[in-house]
Amino acid sequence: MSPVSQRNRETDSAQLPDDQPALVAVRDAGVVRNGRLIWEHVCVDVAAGEFVAILGPNGVGKSTLLKSILGLVPLTSGEIRLLGHAPGRANHQVGYLPQRRTFDASLRIRGRDVIRLGLDGHRWGIPLPGRRSRAAIARVDELIALVDAGAYADRPIGQLSGGEQQRLLIAQALARRPRLLLLDEPLDSLDLPNQAAVAALISRICRAEGVAVMMVAHDVNPILAYLDRVIYLGHGGAVSGIPAEVITSATLTALYGTPIEVLSTSDGRLVVVGQPEAPAHHSDRHGGQP
Ligand SMILES: Nc1ncnc2c1ncn2[C@@H]1O[C@H](COP(=O)(O)OP(=O)(O)OP(=O)(O)O)[C@@H](O)[C@H]1O
């Protein structure tokens, strides 16, 4: 029997210990879109402050899982609870960074104003009055420090590098002190040093702000050292658990349907070899629909 030949295998570590309440609880969940089964029997619990990656081949439904947690894509089976509520009921506690599109180079809005939109963007640019405005300015300064963007936060966002823009967008998603951060491929289109730097930043935020992070990624290697839990969606099933249990050659080969090797380095780190590359213009394939 292949490692995921029963659809829906989950490791024992997919569930949290009883004394650790789940921030997000996904129970035997499934989604059908346009009459096509995207995934089913997905189970995972995410606790406060955990860093969780959602991984798997193109089109397998990673973004759909984030959208289901937000209530943007309804489940067709099973259940998702977010902070004990049905999807969509606790979204004010969630920061969401959708798959990014590049900013036009001529866009003049400053980095710090992009962050500020995360605080009062719903007011359509009408500034908060008096004391609340001062508190907003202080929070934006705090976020700029958190993502280490002081050197460029006053420059127009269209003139910043992909990595700099991504840090500002993460800060924007954190503006209202969410308890859960949903990041859809934040490392997409970044070079390797920037992928490592942004992954380290996200891990630091998990710890410093106590925010749980669920992050869609294509390549597990730059984030592997930071992860508490992984969810692999594959055409043969879904597997979730702690990295050491889930990230094995046999499991990944079965999920991706192509040979994948998991190597252990002399200092004990895991490296995944043979994972198919994402296409270069990955974000071009995504429409604007939820
Ligand atoms: N608005 C939509 N309506 C119907 N089907 C959709 C919609 N958006 C996406 N899909 C389909 O749902 C499936 C899962 O898409 P999704 O974007 O969740 O996959 P993904 O794993 O995030 O892909 P990628 O790695 O390419 O970003 C795909 O087959 C896609 O074509």
Q: pLDDT tens digit string along 257-282?
A: 888 888 888 777 778 887 766 544 44
The amino acid occupying position 125 is G
In short, whether 229's Cβ falls inside 6 Å of ligand 1 is no
For this complex, say whether ipTM is above 0.90: yes
> In the predicted model, what is the mean pLDDT of residues 188-200?
86
Q: Is the pLDDT of residue 229 over 60?
A: yes
Ligand 1 atom closest to Cα of residue 60: 21
- In this structure, the dihedral spanned by the alpha carbons of residues 8, 41, 27 and 247, taken in order and rounded to 10 degrees, is 30
Q: Where are the domains of the chain?
A: 12-103+179-285
DSSP category for residue 148: T
DSSP category for residue 157: G
Q: Which residue's CA lies nearest to atom 23 of ligand 1?
A: 59
Q: How far apart are CA 191 and CA 104, in angstroms?
A: 20
The structure's pTM equals 0.85
Ligand 1 atom closest to Cα of residue 289: 1
Q: Which residue's CA lies nearest to atom 6 of ligand 1?
A: 33
In short, whether 61's Cβ falls inside 6 Å of ligand 1 is yes
Q: How far apart are CA 80 and CA 74, in angstroms?
A: 10
CA 241 to ligand 1 center in whole angstroms: 23
In short, whether 68's Cβ falls inside 6 Å of ligand 1 is no
Residue 35: count of CB within 10 angstroms of its CB: 5
Residue 48 sits at φ, ψ, to 5 deg, of: -55, 135
Q: Bigger pLDDT: 208 or 11?
A: 208
**Residue 87 CA from chain centroid, whole number:** 17
According to CATH, the topology of domain 12-103+179-285 is Rossmann fold (3.40.50)
- In this structure, the dihedral spanned by the alpha carbons of residues 37, 38, 44 and 47, taken in order and rounded to 10 degrees, is -140
Q: SS3 sequence, 11-44?
A: CHHHCCCCCCCCCEEEEEEEEEECCEEEEEEEEE
Residue 267: count of CB within 10 angstroms of its CB: 5
CA 287 to ligand 1 center in whole angstroms: 9
Q: Is the pLDDT of residue 34 over 60?
A: yes
Q: Is the pLDDT of residue 128 over 90?
A: no
Q: Bigger pLDDT: 219 or 127?
A: 219
Q: How far apart are CA 180 and CA 214, in angstroms?
A: 8
Cβ(52)–Cβ(229) below 8 Å:
yes
